């Protein structure tokens, strides 16, 4: 039995996990980071637009402040965001951006001379601003505050974190698929993981464990998320007695996903002045959001697109319905400088050149505001599990409420990752040195039996794990998308329960290999079905429309549901249990 011992364990190699692990290492904590993929392949690298931080260092953001950032975030969250968390974030993210600057992140800077805005206004940047970190406009904000690195911000932040990781000597073990939490008396003492190189199970025992495994976007067929965003961390917690998830129905859809691939087209396109057109070449957002127009929040634009489609105003192509995004008027120089990845993706995945052509876009799942419920310190102890922490998209400490503002997610990974490390350090100092040998042995045995069962059932005719996951994704996109209703959600719930019942009899279609992608899918399958049931169950019970959660049959926001959703898995009834938690006032 292969066991690794450390004071702290971080599961997930994206920005939240890396930032936490770096901070732990710098604090003298013995820490190990494991990741299912090499860190640069984590989904954080795909983030394009930027980081919201009230630097007030550009002409159009000169009046910005953390208070305005706070108000925008609270308003965007539709009454559900935690005021104390939002306040902490909006003040802390400013220092985080300057720290990243010192780590070598190549932020785009304020340049000299005149700038022409998309509405025809001309601004002249002040001379004393030249060279400072600049900002672009994003939806739902009162000021220009989104700091960026052209349209590859996440990639640049990841590279800076990997350089820092190397400098502090952070141990990173990739190709490790977390299988289960090691639990001893409601205390998490690490994880079991499958080594995807050797096919062997390895144990990582620790005093404190951080889950930074990302969101659950790949429960949906049409998503901007990478294939690893399947809710692995949330599924681990849901499998534990008393493990609590929160706001699982809060799923954000991005209005400008490239058709037909669902590759993200950054909000920066609209922030820099892009337009949206329907099949009549009308800027339809003038009708739905006459003041904000194309810079309304993501939930507003996504809803508007579906409503336009219902009116028969969507464009029709070989790959289905879409709308047009137009950035041609921004010019070749701007596109090749500030939106170069957009241009490359549009050409590679849709065969269009945005310098000359319109870009076909349509809403696709983009971000999950729900996740592992933590308190403000990013600990799960208040919710039943000691020694376990969560950060980034894996967590719900409720920064975003029921709609995330663009640019707040990258900032959250850095702020929350650092803060989680601080609270983990405090926990480690208080915890004794003993770790349960029997708990680790028991969990190793369970996971070994799990792999053995998969091997025995491989090649059996009938339902495959891959087909179950495909059915889940289809059901979720069809019935739990931008608009939902009771009939559709009930249909999804019945079908998901049927898939859950069939899962024990499913098999790997080909010959068994512990390192194959099909085995990875088999190990993820049941957890994904349970997470889908959590999303659907929470959406059914919330009989209102709020932020990104839109019910055709309950179109109004209800004061009754101005609460945080909590859900747990009942292993006896094999069903989701749901209740609610009041939103605490600030302070």
> Which listed residue (19, 145, 161, 254) is catalytic?
254
Instruction: Tally the residues of the chain.
Output: 587
Structure tokens at 425: 């350090």
DSSP symbol at 81: S
Q: Is 89 helix (H, G, I), strand (E, B) or coil?
A: helix
Dist CA 130 CA 132 (whole Å): 6
Dist CA 144 CA 141 (whole Å): 7
**395: nearest Cα among 411, 418, 379:** 379
Scored b (16 or more CB within 10 A) or e, 68-90 reads bbbebbbbbbbbbbbbbbbbbbb
Check if 340 is active-site.
no
Structure tokens at 563: 């609460």
Angle CA 60–64–65, to nearest 5: 165
> Which listed residue (69, 161, 270, 303) is catalytic?
270
Dist CA 175 CA 52 (whole Å): 32
**177: nearest Cα among 442, 519, 422:** 519
**335: nearest Cα among 273, 242, 378, 413:** 273
Q: Is 390 helix (H, G, I), strand (E, B) or coil?
A: strand
Contact 473, 465 (CB under 8 A): no
Dist CA 99 CA 546 (whole Å): 35
Structure tokens at 280: 């009549």
**Residues contacting residue 184 through CB under 8 Å, at least 6 positions apart:** 435, 436, 438, 439
Angle CA 536–541–547, to nearest 5: 80
Check if 270 is active-site.
yes
Dist CA 183 CA 201 (whole Å): 17
Contact 135, 61 (CB under 8 A): yes
Residues with catalytic function: 254, 270
């Amino acid at each position: 039995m292969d066991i690794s011992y450390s004071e702290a364990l971080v599961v997930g190699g994206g920005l939240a996990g890396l930032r936490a692990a770096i901070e732990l290492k710098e604090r003298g904590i013995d820490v190990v980071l494991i990741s299912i993929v090499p860190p640069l392949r984590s989904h954080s690298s795909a983030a394009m637009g930027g980081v919201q931080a009230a630097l007030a260092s550009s002409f159009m953001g000169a009046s910005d402040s953390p208070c305005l950032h706070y108000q925008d975030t609270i308003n965007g969250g539709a009454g559900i965001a935690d005021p104390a968390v939002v306040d902490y974030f909006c003040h802390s993210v400013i220092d985080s951006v300057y720290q990243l600057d010192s780590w070598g992140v190549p932020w785009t800077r304020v340049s000299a001379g005149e700038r022409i805005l998309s509405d025809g206004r001309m601004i002249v940047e002040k001379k004393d601003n030249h060279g400072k970190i600049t900002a672009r406009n994003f939806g739902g904000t009162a000021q220009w505050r989104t700091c960026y690195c052209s349209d590859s911000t996440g990639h640049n932040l990841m590279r800076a974190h990997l350089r820092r990781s190397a400098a502090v000597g952070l141990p990173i073990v990739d190709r490790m698929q977390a299988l289960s939490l090691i639990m001893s008396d409601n205390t998490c003492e690490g994880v079991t993981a499958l080594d995807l190189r050797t096919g062997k199970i390895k144990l990582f025992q620790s005093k404190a464990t951080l889950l930074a495994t990302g969101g659950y976007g790949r429960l949906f067929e049409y998503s901007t998320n990478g294939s690893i965003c399947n809710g692995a961390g949330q599924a681990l917690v849901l499998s534990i007695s008393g493990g609590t998830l929160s706001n699982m129905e809060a799923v954000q859809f991005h209005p400008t996903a490239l058709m037909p691939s669902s590759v993200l087209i950054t909000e920066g396109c609209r922030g820099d002045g892009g337009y949206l057109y329907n099949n009549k070449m009308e800027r339809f957002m003038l009708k739905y959001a006459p003041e904000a127009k194309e810079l309304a929040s993501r939930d507003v634009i996504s809803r508007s697109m579906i409503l336009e489609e219902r009116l028969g105003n969507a464009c029709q192509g070989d790959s289905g319905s879409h709308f047009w995004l137009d950035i041609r008027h921004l010019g070749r120089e701007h596109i090749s400088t500030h939106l170069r990845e957009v241009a490359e993706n549009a050409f590679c995945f849709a065969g269009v050149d945005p310098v000359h052509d319109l870009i076909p876009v349509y809403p696709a799942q983009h971000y999950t505001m729900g996740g592992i419920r933590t308190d403000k310190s990013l600990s799960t102890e208040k919710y039943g599990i000691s020694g376990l922490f969560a950060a980034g998209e894996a967590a719900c400490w409720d920064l975003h409420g029921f709609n995330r503002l663009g640019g707040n997610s990258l900032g959250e990974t850095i702020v929350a990752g650092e803060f989680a490390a601080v609270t983990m350090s405090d926990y480690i100092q208080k915890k004794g040195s003993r770790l349960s040998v029997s708990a680790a042995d028991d969990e190793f045995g369970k996971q070994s039996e799990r792999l053995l069962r998969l091997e025995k059932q491989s090649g059996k005719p009938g339902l495959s794990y891959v087909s179950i996951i495909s059915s889940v994704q289809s059901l979720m996109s069809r019935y739990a998308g931008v608009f939902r209703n009771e009939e559709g959600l009930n249909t999804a719930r019945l079908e998901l329960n049927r898939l859950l019942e069939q899962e024990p009899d499913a098999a790997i279609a080909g010959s068994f290999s512990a390192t194959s992608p099909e085995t990875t899918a088999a190990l993820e399958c049941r957890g994904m079905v349970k997470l889908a049931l959590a999303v659907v169950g929470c959406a059914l019970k919330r009989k209102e429309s709020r932020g990104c959660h839109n019910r055709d049959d309950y179109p109004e926001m209800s004061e009754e549901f101005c609460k945080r959703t909590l859900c747990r898995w009942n292993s006896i009834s094999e069903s989701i249990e749901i209740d609610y938690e009041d939103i605490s006032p600030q302070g």
